[in-house]
Chains A and B, each alone.
Chain A
Amino acid sequence: MPPTASHHGAKSKAELDDLGGLIEKEHLPAGRADLPEPLVAHSQRERILIAMADACAAKGFGATTIADICKPAGVSRATFYELFEDKEDCLQASMELSLADTMGRIVEIYSPDKPWATMVRDAVATFLDLLANRPQFARMALIEAPAAGGRSYEMYASGKRVLQALLDRGRNDPIEEQAIPSSAARGALAAAESLVVGQILAGNAERLPELLPDIVYIVTVPYLGQDEALRQSREAEKSRLPGAS
């Protein structure tokens, strides 16, 4: 068995500093991102996006029809087609919203001066809160978009690349001499994602924040080693206890 792709050392500094560049290229929100809160149906467009997310949660994107979306949204077919080209376009709009939100928050959390482990913990906590607050959109972004292919899939994949780059900054920390495979960030993220998606599909999206200690462990262990990752996980657990400062 040839040792494929396994023994890359630390990534080059230029590659790691690309994180800022990656985010810049993604869809950022126009203004400053507010604290996570359920999306309010201010406009027909938002009502349609909410109705589509609900319909997809019940039937899946493939089986959802325009009628399934229009009826609960209280809009006519004509209005739907004024705002969106088709169902795929509507899914893309929903993805753009989710991606902009997520990236906006990552930009807020991200700072080159912050310890990497703190940044990762903050990012995971924020991400879980965001998903728990908008369960239908969590479903669209993590389940329907990757399955739909096309532009929606590309947006999902680009969001994931940003998170991978964020994790791979951990390669600058003490164990950089270790032989961590280049796929470590993808593997760690897939592990976290699988747990999150399982929880959403089981209808427990509101309990996602409880997964914080487990996810902090799995995404930091390749970079920090087991003892330190377990310590970070316990810290994350403490930060979740009521009354913790």
Chain B
Amino acid sequence: MPQAKRTERWRPPRGRHGLPPEVVARSQRERLLEATMRVVAEKGYAATTVADLTKQAGISRTTFYELFADKEACFLAAYDNVVDALVRRVSAAYETEERWPERARAGLATLLEALAAHPAQARLAFVDVASAGPAAQRRFRAGVQRLTPFLDEGRDFAPNGRSLPANTSRMAAGAVVGLISDELLAGRADGLPNLLSDVLFATLVAYLGPDAAAREVGEESR
């Protein structure tokens, strides 16, 4: 699918424009988070400097430090932004279906498509975050956990739901994220939607076992 050309983000007019300060700050923050995503995708987290970010975002150093304490805080805010947006989309897709396996399929399909359409965000949320130090690594694990509420419903759907291990949803979320990360590390962001049957199987097998999982995946992919 051809990508729409990136349109310039709106910036407040220079000089005396009479805009309320909080409007200006919000726009600067958004530009900065957008810039962080692009620069980190290009240079990697370690090589990225605050100067790279202010230049790309078109803001001053002073403004940067008014918004964030340091590079790490800015990166974590960008990460949270990406994850919030992904969770919103996954949630909306998930709610369109009734049966849990179909809800899972809809949510995962949307997740894969969103990541394929925004490879810089995908890299930030799945690859760069892992190399950005202990705080980012903890935030990443917390991000993975945001998939578990969708997965926990599988316990009610599964005939054996009550006997499943306590950590089933955490493990299933880890499988989904791990398979996606492998694909991104191999530089195959645009092929992510093809991963649907694999991530769906990895999710369903934890709750339903291999026979039922394979059956559901087969039915879904027809």
Residues in A lying within 8 Å of B, measured CB to CB: 1-7, 57-63, 143, 146-149, 175, 178-181, 183-184, 186-195, 197-198, 201-202, 211, 213-215, 217-218, 221-223, 225-227, 229-230, 233
Cβ contacts B186-211/A at 8 Å (1 or 0 each): 00000000101111011001101111
By the criterion of a CB under 8 Å from any partner CB, how many residues of chain B are at the interface?
50
B198 touching A6, Cβ below 8 Å: yes
A230 touching B160, Cβ below 8 Å: yes
Distance between Cα atoms of A215 and B170 in the complex (Å): 11
How many whole Å from A58's CB to the nearest CB in chain B?
Answer: 7
Decide: A147 near B166, CB < 8 A? Known: A186-B179, A222-B205: no
CB-CB < 8 A to A2: which residues of B? 194, 221
Most buried by A among B136, B171, B173: B171
Q: Which residue of A lies closest to B141 (CB)?
A: A198
Q: Which residue of A lies closest to B145 (CB)?
A: A198
Inter-chain CB contacts under 8 Å: number: 165
Distance between Cα atoms of A58 and B160 in the complex (Å): 42
CB-CB < 8 A to A180: which residues of B? 201, 210, 214
Most buried by A among B144, B199, B214: B214
CB-CB < 8 A to A195: which residues of B? 167, 170-171, 174
Q: Which of B153-195 contact A (CB under 8 A)?
A: 160, 163-168, 170-175, 177-179, 181-182, 194
How many whole Å from A39's CB to the nearest CB in chain B?
Answer: 21
Distance between Cα atoms of A86 and B103 in the complex (Å): 49
CB-CB < 8 A to A179: which residues of B? 214, 218
Q: Does B12 interact with chain A (Cβ within 8 Å)?
A: no
Residues in B lying within 8 Å of A, measured CB to CB: 45-46, 130-134, 136-138, 141, 144-145, 160, 163-168, 170-175, 177-179, 181-182, 194, 196-199, 201-202, 205-206, 208-211, 214, 217-218, 220-222
CB-CB < 8 A to A58: which residues of B? 134
Task: Report whether over half of chain B's contact residues are helix, strand or loop; otherwise say mixed.
Answer: helix
CB-CB < 8 A to B170: which residues of A? 194-195, 198
Decide: A175 near B165, CB < 8 A? Known: A6-B198, A187-B175, A226-B160: no
Q: Which residue of A lies closest to B173 (CB)?
A: A194
A221 touching B175, Cβ below 8 Å: no
Decide: A6 near B221, CB < 8 A? Known: A63-B133, A226-B160: yes
B171 touching A194, Cβ below 8 Å: yes
Since A5-B197, A148-B131, A197-B141 are in contact, a sample of 18 more A-B pairs with Cβ atoms closer than 8 Å, ordered by chain A residue number, is A59-B133, A60-B133, A178-B211, A179-B218, A180-B214, A187-B179, A188-B202, A189-B178, A190-B177, A191-B175, A191-B206, A193-B174, A194-B170, A194-B174, A194-B178, A211-B167, A214-B168, A233-B165
CB-CB < 8 A to A60: which residues of B? 131-134, 136-137
Q: Name B45's contact: one of A62, A188, A190, A226 (CB within 8 Å).
A: A62
Q: Which residue of B lies closest to A233 (CB)?
A: B165
Q: Name A217's contact: one of B130, B165, B197 (CB within 8 Å).
A: B165
How many whole Å from B204's CB to the nearest CB in chain A?
Answer: 10
How many whole Å from A202's CB to the nearest CB in chain B?
Answer: 8
Decide: A147 near B131, CB < 8 A? Known: A62-B45, A175-B210: yes
Decide: A218 near B46, CB < 8 A? Known: A6-B201, A62-B131, A183-B202: no
CB-CB < 8 A to A233: which residues of B? 165
B178 touching A1, Cβ below 8 Å: no
How many whole Å from A151's CB to the nearest CB in chain B?
Answer: 15
Give 25 CB contacts A-B under 8 Å: A1-B196, A3-B218, A3-B221, A4-B198, A5-B197, A6-B197, A6-B217, A57-B134, A63-B133, A143-B137, A179-B214, A181-B217, A184-B202, A184-B205, A187-B198, A187-B202, A193-B174, A195-B167, A198-B174, A213-B165, A215-B171, A221-B205, A223-B210, A226-B210, A227-B209
